Amino acid sequence: MLIADEFFLIAHNDIRGKAKLHPAANGLGLAAGLLGELVLYGHITVTSAQVTVIDRRPPADALAHTVLDQLIGEAQHQAVRTWLSFLAQTAVTSVGERLARAGVLRRQESRRLLRTTVNYQPVDLNVAAWPATRLRAVLERNEPPSVPDALLLGLVAAAGLTREVLWSAGPRAHHRLNLIVPALPAPLKELVAHTEAAVGAAVLRGAP
């Protein structure tokens, strides 16, 4: 599974699909996951608080392709925080739809008065619960995590989801989590730091 997909499953209720996070934190975490995927693919980098496209070739994943096209099309905007805020506006829907297309989630619409709300419910509860379980096992092993797993753990911590991964873990796992983000490659470490700052600012001002 991709970074933003696993973040989505950790950040949403296993049964009803309800978000466990403040909406702003949820959107920003998913937005960072989408940018992180492009860093891992080698299409963008993050330095000095700026996002820079370094490979314009389209990624295989359709959503990653869309995000890259947006970055290329709005090249005058390069600030990481700008892109986190922009992508956060649609990230729940775009990642939820990607998981629905993959058969992991089921799209559910409900009508109340004049509003239609959409949420994404898991097709298989074991699949939905797996990313958090897997990350917990990663932290309890001796070997260092892969770079994608380290990024996902960093975003989980930045968004305030640590308890969802560490709820039954021992002291070793808690200690290792604190060492993972500083060891990330510089572009990903910076992405995590900006995500944490954006989440803190959004929650503090009560952003929806």
DSSP state of 145: P
pLDDT per position as a tens digit, 114-156: 778 888 999 999 999 999 999 988 988 888 899 999 999 999 9
Query: What is the pLDDT at residue 27?
Result: 96
pLDDT per position as a tens digit, 98-116: 999 999 999 988 777 777 8
pTM of the model: 0.93
CATH number, position 106:
1.10.3630.10
Domain count, the chain: 1
Structural domain boundaries enclosing 129: 3-205
What are the DSSP calls for 79-131, one per residue? BHHHHHHHHHTTHHHHHHHHHHHTTSEEEEEEEETTEEEEEEEES-HHHHHHH
pLDDT for residue 95 is more than 90 = yes
